[in-house]
Every structure is written in structure tokens, then in C-alpha cells.
């Protein structure tokens, strides 16, 4: 059994997620329940977690997932990224649209350093809406070889890990297990061609055995100082 305040809070969170896709802030929850302090909200959230009505999503700021509601206590919410069973017609409650995820930041993409050598240095906070399914990491772009694709020096390239690519996709390619580069990937006869997006640079051609795809561009972050 939930207390009256716990019941009010789970309903408030559920309604807000269904209406806007955004978790209410602790300040909004405090005001909605007429509580004197945010510590009361924290206690209610912890109690709802213990009773498996909600859960806090790891590595995400202000993100709550409603697992079930008091009105329909047996209804489970399908996690994001998984298919619903065909037998059910229940509606999933949305994950907050303002979710932020932490992904590895592997440093600047530069000659002489394969991606593996940069792992574990730091992390970057990224809006979850910029990422799809799969495992991701970030690289700080160095140079101007991709400016005509809108990728500038100092941008953060968000990369989905994969070892395959289709023609025309922007990839992180490791050349001769030594030099990492961000380029358009194309096949040209028996060769692999890596195209810059800058007329000042020439395409690079390699034997396929020299090139290992380490990811595809999934998004871009830019800092304005």
C-alpha cells in the first residue's frame, strides 16, 4: 500500500511524462505536493523506488521511469529500445525527453593515436535524443578536413561503435592500426576511398586490409564560447 503522498507523487510524475515526455523537477514535485522541502521529495522517490513503482535511470540527469501505477499495479512499462510483446496493447510511458547520458570522450581524433589508446580518459554529457541504439563514444574533432559537411575544428563527434559502413557514411577509420581519421567512406573497385569534405584536400585510397572502421557518425555537439 502506498501512502497518500506517495500515491500523489507517482500520479503526478506519470501524468507529466505522458503529457510532455519530461520528468518534473524536484522543485515542481515539492510545489505540487505542498511539501516544505525537497528532502521530502527525495524520501518519497526512495520509497517509490523500494516498492518498484519507479526507477532512476543511471547516468542521466533528472530522469525517472514509471514502472507501474497504483491504478494498474501489474502493468509493466516496456523499456526503451525493446519491442513490445504482440499480445499486449498497453501503452508505454515515455522516458524523459530531457535525459542526459554520459559517454566516453576519447580525446582529439589525431594521427598516430588509434582509438583504443584514448579510451577511459573522460566522459561527455550528451542529450539522449541525439543518440540512437547501440554503444557510443565521443571524439573532439581536430582540423578542417570535414568543414563542408558542417564538422568544424573543436566540435564533438558522437560516434556509434560499429565495424561496418555503407558508401557515403561518415566513419572513424583506423588506417594501418595507427592513424585514426574522420572521413566519408566509399568503395572504389577493389579499394577503399576515404573522402574529406573540404576541396583543399584530396581523397585517400587504401587496400581494404589497411582500413578498419571503428564507428559511424551519429551526431555532433558544438560549444559556443
Active site residue 145: yes
Closest CA to 17 of 55, 73, 74: 55
Query: What values do phi and psi take at 193, rounded to 5?
Result: -115, 130
Q: For residue 28, give the H/E element and its range.
A: helix 26-32
Which grid cell sits at 11?
A: 500520479
β pairing state of 156-160 and 136-140: antiparallel
> How far is 102 from 114, CA to CA, in rounded Å?
22
Name the catalytic one among 25, 133, 145, 200.
145
State the catalytic residue, choosing from 14, 23, 30, 183.
183
Phi-psi region of 120 (alpha: psi -120 to 50; beta: other; left: phi over 0): left
Q: H/E element holding 204? A: strand 204-206
Residue positions annotated with a catalytic role: 145, 183
Amino acid at each position: 500500500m502506498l501512502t497518500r503522498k506517495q500515491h500523489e507523487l507517482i500520479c503526478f510524475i506519470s501524468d507529466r511524462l505522458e503529457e510532455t515526455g519530461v520528468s518534473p523537477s524536484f522543485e515542481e514535485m515539492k510545489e505540487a505536493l505542498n511539501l516544505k522541502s525537497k528532502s521530502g521529495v527525495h524520501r518519497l522517490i526512495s520509497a517509490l523506488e523500494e516498492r518498484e513503482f519507479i526507477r532512476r535511470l543511471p547516468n542521466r540527469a533528472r530522469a525517472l521511469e514509471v514502472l507501474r501505477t497504483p491504478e494498474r499495479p501489474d502493468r509493466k512499462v516496456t523499456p526503451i529500445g525493446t519491442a513490445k510483446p504482440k499480445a499486449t496493447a498497453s501503452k508505454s510511458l515515455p522516458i524523459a525527453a530531457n535525459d542526459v547520458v554520459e559517454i566516453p570522450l576519447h580525446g582529439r581524433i589525431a594521427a598516430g593515436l588509434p582509438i583504443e589508446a584514448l579510451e577511459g580518459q573522460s566522459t561527455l554529457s550528451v542529450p539522449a535524443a541525439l543518440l540512437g541504439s547501440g554503444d557510443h563514444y565521443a571524439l573532439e574533432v581536430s582540423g578542417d578536413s570535414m568543414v563542408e559537411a558542417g564538422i568544424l575544428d573543436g566540435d564533438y563527434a558522437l560516434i556509434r561503435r560499429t565495424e561496418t559502413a555503407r558508401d557515403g557514411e561518415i566513419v572513424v577509420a583506423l588506417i594501418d592500426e595507427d592513424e585514426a581519421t574522420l572521413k566519408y567512406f566509399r568503395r572504389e573497385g577493389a579499394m577503399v576511398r576515404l573522402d574529406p569534405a573540404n576541396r583543399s584536400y584530396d581523397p585517400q585510397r587504401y587496400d581494404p586490409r589497411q582500413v578498419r572502421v571503428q564507428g559511424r557518425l551519429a551526431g555532433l555537439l558544438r560549444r559556443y564560447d
